[in-house]
Structure 1
Amino acid sequence: MAWQNPWYDPQKAHHTPEGFRNPEQDLRQPGDLQRWRKERKAQGLPFPPAQGYDAFIRQWWQPADLSGEEDAVWWLGHACLLLRTSGKYTLIDPALASRASPLQFYGPQRKTPAALKVEDLPALDRVLISHSHYDHLDWPTIKLILRHFPDVHFVVPLGLAPWFKKRGAKKVTQLDWWESVTDREMQIFAVPARHWSMRTPWDRNRSLWCGWVVKSQGVNFWFSGDSGYSERLLAIPRRLGPFNLAALPTGAYAPQWFMRGQHMDPDEAISLHQALGQPVTIPIHWGVFELADESLDEPPRVLSKKMQAAKLDEHRFSAWKIGARMPLKNIN
């Protein structure tokens, strides 16, 4: 018997009896994946950073400094962020292992070191996971979190709670788009994203994907997660804004004919940044794994060029070093 979606709600456009979908048109055609793989192999893509990987690390990486007690946000590389609010720690999409893969010997390999280790954290209160892909939901990292912080609260999109409970998580909340949970001083909303999910050849789109809006002690933060651009995303600031902090993807966009339905490029991220009223925005989804055809050093260069061309304030949206932090008092 075919798998049936136990959370199916026929009133919701992103639900199907077999799982979940994007309301937007699917831009990929049959055979596109094979075409992309063939083209990138023929061209030897992706190319290394212009000055090599070691120079890239020297320019764009530093160990995360968790000293002090003030509220802050850290970018830990790729889509991983750490928030400290009211002395509580929230980790988002932690993928700190050596590969974004179900295998230890094959799959996208980390090109820059992890900015911290799970055991470096003085405490961990909650973990937000945007979707099931291996560069966002990393079992080696989750296993370490459960070992060091067994009472941590996982907040995940609809359909992922069984995965966490099966692996020993004690407290898991799963949310559909626009649903929320309040955890002490923090209110957390699951919001739409234009993406997809899969961990095995048999579970494509059986769990939902999402972004997160976090409201806590003077910060209203939109973490987009993995998402292609869509005007439907503008409903998020209309309903839950205005935001004083955002994290938008600026990497894994090439070639655009293949990636645009699931990842934003810098132009699209800038357009969204402007639509939000230009809050402090962290560029994410670059700098660690080579998941598409652009080199690791292309996203920050292109983002800066496009921000200058649009005559926008680069202090509000420019590349951070992996491991860098910003006190939340500086975002207003």
Structure 2
Amino acid sequence: MVWKNPWYNPAISHHSPGGFTNVTPVTHQPGDKKRWHDERKAAGLPRPPSNGYTGFIEQWWQKAEIAGDSDGLWWLGHSSILLRLQGKYLLTDPVFSRRASPLRFAGPQRRTPPALAIADIPQLDAVLISHNHYDHLDAWTLRALLRRFPEVHFFAPLGLGKWIRRQGARHVSELDWWKNTSFAGMSFTAVPAQHWSMRTLWDRNRSLWCGWVVESAGLRFWFPGDTGYMPELLAIPERLGALDVVALPVGAYAPRWFMAINHMDPQSAVTLWQQLGTPLAFPIHWGVFELADESLDEPVKELQYALSEAADESDNFRILKIGQYLSLR
């Protein structure tokens, strides 16, 4: 039986009868994935960080200390961010498991420990999900969060509501690109990203992927989720207003010939940051899982070099340690 997209609207370009697609159709050629895997295996990639995993943790990890009451955020590693806005706590793409995988014994393993235990989260009002890949949507983590915070509200792109409710969630909002909803005095808008979705062999692109713009008391924060670079990302501030704080993904980019469609590299992140007018920014999607060919510390090295090459006098692009706090006011 052919699956039909229940949200399909022929007037919307990223909708298709069989699921969802990107603004600009992008795809790999037949054989590309095998070529990448063969080259990766032959070269023995990824390699350990330059100072080893222990040295990397000593340099780039710290325990998150939740204190104070002003607006701010803690980068918890990879794409997980704990935001505090107007006294409310929001969590993006939370993954606290040992692996980004459906299996406990196989798949990408966590190379740096969680910067925060679920038991140490003081309050949780909302969770923002960008898409259904295992390094962004983790069943064990969601169930653990729901045991501690049963009334937490989930925001997700189209197609993920049923799955999230099966984990025990009572409050779920599913949004299409450019759709908006309000919660706890804040505005949440799902915005485009260039990526894809797949959680099993049978559900490729049946759920949408997105970024989120959260507006709170005059502050506009953008969490892009996973995205390749595309000029259409600039439509986000054009339609919603200037962005004040942005979390820009910089990892899982090697080899670029294969990864660029779905993941920005540090150079693209710096270019986009400049095009956005150099708002307060920090890099995400690095430092935890080895998902591509670069070593764990290469994204931050390349980012530092790209920022120096940009010769921008602004210090608004802050490279945070995992667990580090960033004030937003």
Please give the range of the TM-score, normalised by the shorter of the 2 chains.
Answer: over 0.9
Separation in 2 of the partners of 1:175 and 1:14?
13
What pairs up with 1:307-326 in 2 under 5 angstroms? Answer: 307-313=307-313, 315-326=315-326
Answer yes or no: is the 8 Å Cα contact 2:89–2:125 preserved in 1. Answer: yes
Query: 2-side partners of 1:58 and 1:101: how far apart?
Result: 26
Matched residue, 2:271: 271
Contact map agreement 2:73 2:328 (CA 8 A) in 1: yes
Q: Distance in 1 between the 2:206 and 2:313 partners?
A: 41
Q: Report what 1:229 is aligned to.
A: 229
- List alignment gaps of at least 5 residues for structure 2: none
- Percent identity of paired positions between Structure 1 and Structure 2: 57
Match status 1:176 vs 2:171: no
1:215 aligned residue: 215
Structure 1 counterpart of 2:190, one-letter code: A
- Give the Cα separation in 1 of the matches to 2:155 and 2:178: 14
Corresponding position of 1:199: 199
The answer as to whether partners of 1:62 and 1:115 remain within 8 angstroms in 2 is yes
Measure, in 2, the Cα distance between the counterparts of 1:241 and 1:248.
18
Aligned to 1:73: 73
* 2:251 and 2:266 in contact (8 A); partners too: yes
Check whether the contact 2:139–2:167 (CA below 8 A) recurs between aligned residues: no
Q: Distance in 1 between matches of 2:133 and 2:235?
A: 25
Question: Which residue is equivalent to 2:22?
Answer: 22
Instruction: Tell me, yes or no, if the aligned pair for 2:251 and 2:264 is still in contact at 8 Å.
Output: yes
Partner of 1:87: 87
CA–CA distance in structure 1, aligned partners of residues 29 and 318 of structure 2: 34
How far apart, CA to CA, are the structure 2 residues paired with 1:89 and 1:55?
A: 32
Q: Which structure 1 residue ranges, 5 or more long, are not aligned?
A: none
Q: Decide whether the 8 Å contact of 1:304 with 1:318 is kept in 2.
A: no
How far apart, CA to CA, are the structure 1 residues paired with 2:245 and 2:150? 29
Amino acid paired to 1:265:
D
CA shift for structure 1 position 241: 2.4
Instruction: Report the counterpart of residue 11 of structure 2 in structure 1.
Output: 11
Corresponding letter in the other structure for 2:297: D
TM-score normalized by structure 2?
Answer: 0.98
**Partner in structure 1 of residue 38 of structure 2:** 38
Q: Which runs of 4+ in 1 moved over 4 A?
A: none
One-letter amino acid matched to 1:118? I
- 1:205 offset after TM fit, Å? 0.4
Read off the aligned partner of 2:209 and give its amino acid letter: W
How does 1:102-181 map onto structure 2 within 5 Å? 102-181=102-181
Q: Distance in 1 between matches of 2:180 and 2:288?
A: 30
Structure 2: how far apart are the matches of 1:10 and 1:242? 30
Give the match's secondary structure for 1:142: helix
Answer whether contact 1:19 1:207 (CA < 8 A) is retained: yes
| C-alpha deviation, 1:23, in angstroms | 2.2
Distance 1:184 1:146 in 2: 19
Distance in 1 separating the partners of 2:313 and 2:130:
29
**Residue 218 of structure 1, CA deviation:** 3.3
Task: Supply the distance in 2 between the matched residues of 1:313 and 1:265 (Cα, whole angstroms).
Answer: 21
Q: CA deviation at 1:96?
A: 1.1
Aligned equivalents of 2:218 and 2:237: distance in 1? 16
**Which residue type is aligned with residue 228 of structure 1?**
G
Deviation, structure 1 residue 27: 3.8
- Structure 2 SS opposite 1:246: strand
Quick one: distance in 1 between partners of 2:305 and 2:165?
45
Give me the CA root mean square deviation. Answer: 0.9
CA contact (8 A) 1:307 1:313 kept: no
Instruction: Quote the Cα distance in structure 1 between the aligned partners of 2:277 and 2:123.
Output: 34
Give secondary structure in 1 for the equivalent of 2:213.
Answer: strand
Structure 1 residues 169 and 220, CA gap change in structure 2 (3 angstroms) = same
SS at match of 2:326: strand
Distance 2:243 2:142 in 1: 29
Residues 231-275 of structure 1, C-alpha deviation per residue, up to 9 Å, x if partnerless?
111101111121110011111000000001000011111111011
SS in 1 for 2:55: helix
Cα displacement string for residues 79-125 of structure 1 (whole angstroms, at most 9, x for unaligned residues):
11111111110000101111000000000000001010111111100
* 8 Å contact kept, 2:278–2:314: no
Opposite residue 72 of structure 2, the aligned amino acid is A
May I ask how many residue pairs the two structures share in their alignment? 329
- Letter of the structure 2 residue corresponding to residue 47 of structure 1: R
Instruction: Note the C-alpha offset of 1:314.
Output: 6.1
Q: Which moved more, 1:25-34 or 1:114-123?
A: 25-34
Structure 2 CA distance, aligned partners of 1:179 and 1:158?
Answer: 11
2:69 and 2:245 map into 1 onto residues whose CA distance is: 20
One-letter amino acid of the structure 1 residue matched with residue 294 of structure 2: E
Q: 1:318, CA displacement in angstroms? A: 3.7
In structure 1, distance between residues paired with 2:224 and 2:166? 27
